[in-house]
Amino acid sequence: MTIQSFHPPKRTLMGPGPSDVYPRVTEALSRPTIGHLDPEFVRMMDEVKELLQYAFRTENALTLPVSAPGSAGMETCFANLVEPGDKVIVCINGVFGMRMKENVERCGGEAVIVQGEWGRAVDPAAVEETLKANPDAVILSFVHAETSTGARSDAEKLCALAREHNCLTIVDAVTSLGGSQLEVDAWGIDAIYSGTQKCLSCVPGLSPVSFSQRAVDKIQNRKTKVQSWFLDLNLVMGYWGKGAKRAYHHTAPVNDLYALHESLVILQEEGIENAWVRHQQHHNALVAGLEAMGMSMVVPADERLAQLNLVTIPEGADDAAVRSQLLNDYNLEIGAGLGDFAGKVWRIGLMGCAATKTNVLFCLGALQAVLGKSGATEAAMAVYNS
């Protein structure tokens, strides 16, 4: 068999990620590849750091994109901050909290679990009780925006509790960066990781991270080596340090970093506060349309992500058949439920450049046609016209 070039279909991506990519970002990918130690590339690296500091709302010097997807960003945080024997409190209210626990254990740490309800925010009272019961805990970890459930936890309150009990914090912001209010410095977040393929509308494959000085001090004063050579920030710092003199660590994904630079420039042009407002506006219209079709949102309004919407599958609808029809007939992707929600919900994403009026009305119109419902687009338009 002779294999030919791959040409993917043109989809509208409204699942849990990846999201649609800005045309300017795909154009950036095609720019000439230069060396990862070229002075011009180093100059661009410094701009990427500055742009990420803007997106994270931080002045942390150790802010950079890990050369791998968001899961590697998670592992970077845990591998560098957790040493064998460390007690780490892990909040689990969905799939990605479970992955945090896995990371703690693989680093030789002891995971103390705060078990939460799927589809709800992490309970600060339960966290405070666990912190009091474990005064020897050194880290509190939680997911700010749980992609498996669409729940948003109160990162500001949870970080304040951690500070009161002398704990560092590790925060998953894979789905929140660029789509929800996120204040790394103001909220006192010590270690945070995200991904490029969600609200930044960049290609998958990079993981922005940022570390406070308290976190850097712990990394630099470890008693044991970081178990991963590639993710060891003591080594990576030499490559992503400020200025022209860099110590070679790995061959950076040059063109992917062009793409990230462009997506962050677009975010800066829009203004990050405006991006938060935009995601919320289109979320409100989408919810009105879904509810007009008789569907209900799983997460309470005050704990709900704007960019990842968990909606109950209507009675009599075939989960897989509906998603397949949307994909085949409309080139529209929405996501299935995970874990406890498998087969019970759909996850509809409004991330980055996919968070538009056009996409909201298109998605609602397609669902109306497939489900034989009506009134959704009218309900959404009422929100837009209000």
262 and 280 in a single domain? The answer is no
**Side chain identity, residue 307:** Q
Residue range(s) defining the domain that contains residue 289: 272-384
Q: Are residues 233 and 301 in the same domain?
A: no
300 and 160 in a common domain = no
140 in the same domain as 27: yes
Please give the tally of structural domains in the chain. Answer: 2
Looking at the structure, do residues 322 and 373 belong to the same domain, yes or no? yes
Q: Give the closest residue to 209 by CA, choosing from 110, 79, 73, 87.
A: 73
Whether 11 maps to a domain, the answer reads no
Q: Which of 268, 293, 328 is the last residue of a domain?
A: 268
Here the CATH number for the domain that contains residue 327 is 3.90.1150.10
DSSP-H helix ranges across 145-253 = 155-164, 184-187, 213-220, 233-240
Look at residue 309 and give its three-state secondary structure.
strand
Residues 263 and 288 in one domain: no
Distances (CA, A) of 204 to 15, 58, 70, 219, 250: 14, 23, 9, 27, 19
pLDDT tens for the chain, 386 residues: list them. 899 999 999 999 999 999 999 999 999 999 999 999 899 999 999 999 999 999 999 999 999 999 999 999 999 999 999 999 999 999 999 999 999 999 999 999 999 999 999 999 999 999 999 999 999 999 999 999 999 999 999 999 999 999 999 999 999 999 999 999 999 999 999 999 999 999 999 999 999 999 999 999 999 999 999 999 999 999 998 888 765 567 789 999 999 999 999 999 999 999 999 999 999 999 999 999 999 999 999 999 999 999 999 999 999 999 999 999 999 999 999 999 998 899 999 999 999 999 999 999 999 999 999 999 999 999 999 999 99
pLDDT of residue 278: 98
Q: Identify whether residues 318 and 373 lie together within a single domain.
A: yes
Contact 53, 185 (CB under 8 A): no
Q: Is residue 234 assigned to a domain?
A: yes
User: Is residue 249 in some structural domain?
Assistant: yes
Which of 268, 296, 329 is the C-terminal boundary of a domain?
268
Q: Do residues 122 and 222 both lie within one domain?
A: yes
- 218 and 90, same domain (yes or no): yes
277 part of a folded domain: yes
What pLDDT score was predicted for residue 189?
98
The enclosing H or E element of 13 equals strand 12-13
255 falls within a domain: yes
CB-CB contact of 202 with 259 (8 Å): yes
d(CA 293, CA 372): 9
Do 262 and 313 lie in a common domain? no
**Encoding tokens for residue 324?**
């397949």
Residue 358, domain member (yes or no): yes
Contact 222, 286 (CB under 8 A): no
Q: Any idea what the CATH number is for the domain that residue 94 is in?
A: 3.40.640.10
Residue 218 maps to a domain: yes
Q: Are residues 66 and 168 both part of a single domain?
A: yes
Shared domain check, 161 and 97: yes
Residue 8 lies in a domain: no
Domain end: 268, 294, 325, which one? Answer: 268
